Amino acid sequence: MKHLLLHACCAPCSPYVLEKLSREYRVTVFFYNPNIHGPDEYGLRLEEIKRLCKALKLSLIEGPYDPERFFERVGALEHTGEGGQRCGECFQLRLEETFRIADRVGADMVATTLSVSPHKNVEQINRAGNLAQADGQGVLFLEADFKKKDGYRKTCALARDYDFYRQDFCGCSFSRQEREARKDAHRPR
């Protein structure tokens, strides 16, 4: 059975993807998300993925929490908005690190939970994965759109069953600001 290193963005996006991939691969979960704004938010998300991995008896590798690296790479793209070039660079950063770790641990393949979200552009995610693969040492990227075939609904149902903390923004400070602006725009004046 091939060894797959799965980049997990958060626990709520992971159960269905893990269930599906574990049928075909020996999966190790990699939590690397320097985009998450604030150590408290990061800690909440990390604890939830730890809880999921423990329940599923899966190994978890925790990447460093390095928001400076995220801001160095993505900060100048703040103005591009959710789904823009900023997100593409963020995906690229996280998948490059996933490939680096996959090579270190001897994984055959890399995948990410990011495509289960209807708020993320699957072409952008798969492009970032393929670019990261080009720099890898023979590790392959598994292109996927996990939201298809009811994947998003299934992962939401599983996340409810686990009673996960569920955030309402991707994690970065820019996304959080955009979420707050949307909320303000809908408040009665």
Q: Mean pLDDT in the chain?
A: 89
Instruction: Give me the pLDDT at residue 83, please.
Output: 63
Residue ranges per domain, the chain?
3-185
pTM: 0.89
The residue-averaged pLDDT of 134-145 equals 87
Instruction: Give me the pLDDT at residue 74, please.
Output: 79
Q: Name the phi and psi angles at 86, rounded to 5.
A: -55, -45
Local confidence band at 127 (pLDDT 50, 70, 90 cut-offs): very high
Q: Are 164 and 11 in contact (CB under 8 A)?
A: yes
Fold of 3-185: Rossmann fold (3.40.50)
Instruction: Give me the pLDDT at residue 142, please.
Output: 98
pLDDT at 16 exceeding the cut of 90: yes
Tokens 């059975």: give the residue: 1
The residue-averaged pLDDT of 139-154 equals 96
Residues in the chain: 189
The DSSP secondary structure of 8-77, one letter per residue, reads -S-STTSHHHHHHHTTTSEEEEEE--TTS-SHHHHHHHHHHHHHHHHHHT-EEEEPP--HHHHHHHHGGG
